[in-house]
Amino acid sequence: MTPRIPKAELPTEIREGMIKQLGAVAEPVEVVWHSPEVATSNLEFSARLGEWDAADASLKSFAHMAVASQVGCGWCLDVGYFQALNENLDPAKASQVPRWRESEVFTPLERDVLEYAEAMTNTPPTVTDELHAGLLDRLGAAAMVELTAYIAFVNMATRNNNAHGISSQGFSDACGIPLAARPQHSGAALSS
């Protein structure tokens, strides 16, 4: 899919930094750069997210991919898988996030985080007191606040990318294990 807004020209230092980090320039940044203030704020907040350390990085990565899969953001799922491999996460688990309910590779905590990410992503959200309390009990307040804010930000990013027509750039093509397809019947029923 071609982005609905043509890509803007990025400043050289940002372009070179992305190529160094990802091996390519991220299309979402090129599209959003039509408003440098919005793009810069988004990049700065994204960088701050990476500094948070109260919640386990693997749980946040799996939550990111669950949101991307549910929203249908091919770019986010693609780059999320690429980054998960760079974070030394188990590639078998990372590849199974889109079909986590049918997969047997996840721990009970990981499954609850994936369910929480999807429940936050549903419209309207379907987070239950029981799910939240169970995660809070196992993660603690600081990690629960961080995980929730992280998932909320990922929802903003995935929906932004979808609205702008941004799709996969092929980052996961460099990885050895293909992403599993999300089953059509998976996930909570969304209201119409």
Q: Where are the domains of the chain?
A: 12-174
Task: Rank 129-133, 170-174, 179-183 by mean pLDDT and report only the highest.
Answer: 129-133
CA 90 to chain centre: 16
Pick from 10, 7, 151, 158: nearest CA to 78: 158
Higher pLDDT, 177 or 80: 80
**pLDDT band at residue 37 under the 50/70/90 scheme:** very high
The SS3 of residue 81 is: helix
The answer to whether 75 and 86 have CB atoms below 8 angstroms apart is: no
In this predicted structure, what is the pLDDT of residue 179?
56
- Could you report the per-residue pLDDT of 46-73, keeping only the tens digit for each? 999 989 999 999 999 999 999 999 998 8
Q: Domain 12-174: which topology?
A: AhpD-like (1.20.1290)
In this predicted structure, what is the pLDDT of residue 174?
55
Q: Which amino acid is located at 101 in the chain? A: R
Half-sphere exposure of 67 (CA within 13 A, CB side): 31
**pLDDT band at residue 75 under the 50/70/90 scheme:** confident
